[in-house]
Each structure stands twice: as structure tokens, then as C-alpha cells.
A = this chain, B = another copy of it.
Amino acid sequence: MVHYAELPVNSSHRSQWIDITGGVQSILSSSAIQSGVVTISSLHTTAGITINENADPDVGRDFFRQLERIVPADASYHHREGNSDSHVKASMVGLSATIPVQSGRCVLGTWQSIYFCEFDGPRSRRVSVTCIGE
């Protein structure tokens, strides 16, 4: 059984992560899938998907600050749109995440949330959610 839907995400800063765990679980719950996996993908090239801590917002601040140190927005680049760093960051963090499903729920650790990672906002974005299982 396969269930597919897209989740709209609106970012408000150049770099930020947005917790989409609730939106993903909602799409999963609207299917009859009890056991399997769900794949969450960014449909863009300057935004990725990751899983990280949902308790202390400082984790997200450190994450983006450290990525900025590694891949500075203002290093010398060829691409003329001013977002070369965003493309590199998206590929470093990854464009998708695949999560187990049991009893109709995303299987996540206690501190885990699913994050949409914006690296070139603010923008209106789309995330695809594909649930597959039985």
C-alpha cells in the first residue's frame, strides 16, 4: 500500500529549521498504513530534511551557526545567485529522511523531531511525504 501527499512549508528566515513531525504524522494517519516506512523529501535544491533534537532551541541555533562557519554565505563562488552556500548545505544535510512506521505512528526517539531545513528563505516550499507499507 502506498500513500502520497505534499506538505506546504513557509519559511520566514534565510536559514531555519521547521518542525514538520506533526504534518508528516497527519498524512500518515490519513492512510491505513500500520507498518512500513515514510519517506520525507524536499522538492527543492536549497533546502533539506533532517532529524534532530526538539527540546532545546539552542541546538538549532548551534546547528545553523556551525554550518555557516563551514560553508559561509560569502565565500568566493561561481554561481551568481548568491545562494551557492545553500546548495552545498542542502546536499550536506541531505534532501530526505526515511522513518519507520509501527502501529500507524512514525517511530522516533524520545528527543527526535523531523525538520525541514531552509537554507535560502524566506520562501514557500513543498515537502513530499510517501508512506509505504501494510
A-side residues, CB < 8 A to B, are: 1-2, 4, 35-37, 39, 41-45, 50-53, 56, 58-59, 61-63, 65-67, 69-71, 75, 77-81, 84-85, 87-88, 90-102, 107-109, 111-112, 126, 128, 130, 132-134
How many copies the complex holds: the figure is: 3
- Output the least CB separation between A111 and chain B (Å): 5
A58-B77, A62-B77, A70-B71 given. 9 additional CB < 8 A pairs?
Answer: A41-B99, A50-B95, A56-B79, A58-B78, A62-B84, A63-B84, A94-B94, A96-B99, A100-B128
The answer to whether A43 touches B97 (Cβ under 8 A) is no
Q: Would you give 8 A-B contacts (Cβ < 8 Å), ordered by A? A: A2-B134, A4-B102, A41-B107, A50-B95, A58-B78, A62-B88, A92-B92, A98-B98
